[in-house]
Amino acid sequence: MPKQAIDGQGNARMKQGDHALSGELTGEGHRLVQRVYYEDTDFSGLVYHARYLHFLERGRTDYLRCLGVAQSALLSADDEGLVFVVHRMEIDFKSPARMDDILAIATSTEKAGGAKMVLTQEIRRGEQLLIQARVIIAVVNASGRPRRLPEGLAAKFKR
């Protein structure tokens, strides 16, 4: 039961809380729920446009976390090391979010292979689509040079 995860009591709670806090894997990829706070808004009364990239990044980070991919471990995983670097973003701002809104960030893998990953992400408030994004990620080694994504890792994103 997800609620237990954050709201329960005793030691069990903390562990479960960790999990709920990180969202959950879905049929299409990953889903994370986040709240809009003061810090996310600007004087227009709406969410500051760059803040949506924070919500998207939290989604990507927790997607990896739920896949069991520790980014810090990847760096020293094999001889080369492996780092994900955002190479390009295309973002459509469909409709604005406001203070106190509850947002669901959905992340799914469009492509994972070679030296490249493509993720598609959406932010919704209830059913309404607010943000649509396409994120092109370069797979590089510890020295910043392009490298291949290992098969085992690529497979995780395609599940």
Q: Which sequence positions are flagged as catalytic?
A: 42
Question: What does each C-alpha distance from 21 to 37, 67, 78, 87, 147 come to in angstroms?
Answer: 17, 14, 30, 27, 32
Residue 24 near residue 88, CB atoms below 8 Å: no
When asked if residue 31 is in the footprint of a copy of itself (CB under 8 A), the reply is: yes
With CB under 8 A as the contact rule, the residue among 78, 92, 114, 155 that binds a copy of itself is 92
Residue 88 near residue 136, CB atoms below 8 Å: yes
Q: Which stretch binds a copy of itself (CB under 8 A): 53-61, 114-122, 148-156?
A: 53-61
Radius of gyration of the chain (CA): 17
32: how many CB neighbours lie within 10 A of its CB? 24
User: Could you tell me the smallest distance in angstroms from the CB atom of residue 79 to a copy of itself?
Assistant: 21
Our CB check for a copy of itself shows the closer of 23 and 29 to be 23
Q: Which stretch binds a copy of itself (CB under 8 A): 44-52, 111-119, 146-154?
A: 44-52
The 66-85 contact track toward a copy of itself, x by CB under 8 A, reads -------------------x
Token couple for 134: 């396409």
Our CB check for a copy of itself shows the closer of 50 and 155 to be 50
**Which residues form the interface with a copy of itself (CB under 8 A)?**
1-8, 13-14, 16-24, 31, 33-35, 37-39, 41-46, 48-51, 53-54, 57-58, 61-62, 65, 85-93, 98-100, 102, 104, 126
